[in-house]
């Protein structure tokens, strides 16, 4: 089995941004948080399940496409996403705490 780097890169990017989106959106939207809770009993567990599913779904959907092999660009995107996404989560929670 040969790993498809483009599909793997997109799967990683989708997972990172889905974490950021679900974290912030579930704090803003009570129905979304309740929906996540209803899936597994806890919103954090549901986020984990959704992320794993999204990761593998993205990989398997994109693995048939041509492998661009532009790994340097993907790595820059992944690092930028982790840094910006991480700061967004921390910044949102800090803002929410200060504003509360």
Partner 1 sequence: MYLYLVLFLISNIMHTLVGLHAFLGEAGALAFLWVFIEVLNASSPSIKRAFRVASVGVVLLILAWIAGGWHYLTDYATAVKPVIKAGPTPWAHIVITETKEHIFLFIPFLAFFVWGLLHRYRDELMTNADARKAVLAISLLVVLLAFAMAGMGVIISSGFRAALESKLL
If one asks whether residue 39 binds partner 1 (CB under 8 A), the answer comes out as no
CB of 98 closer than 8 Å to CB of 33? no
Least distance from partner 1 to the Cβ atom of residue 34, Å: 17
* Alpha helix segments (H runs only) across the chain: 5-28, 30-40, 43-62, 71-99
User: What is the Cα–Cα distance from 99 to 53, expressed in whole angstroms?
Assistant: 34
- For partner 1, the binding residues (CB under 8 A) are 2-5, 8-9, 11-12, 15-16, 19, 23, 42, 44-45, 47-48, 51, 55, 71-72, 74-75, 78-79, 82, 85-86, 89-90, 93-94, 96-97, 100
């Amino acid at each position: 089995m040969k790993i498809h780097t483009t599909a793997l890169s997109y799967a990683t990017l989708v997972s990172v941004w889905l974490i950021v989106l679900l974290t912030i959106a579930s704090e803003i939207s009570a129905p979304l948080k309740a929906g996540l809770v209803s899936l597994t009993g806890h919103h954090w567990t549901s986020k984990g399940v959704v992320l794993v599913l999204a990761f593998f779904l993205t990989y398997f959907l994109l693995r048939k496409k041509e492998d661009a092999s532009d790994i340097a660009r993907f790595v820059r995107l992944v690092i930028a996403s982790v840094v910006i996404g991480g700061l967004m989560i921390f910044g949102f929670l800090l803002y929410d705490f200060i504003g509360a």
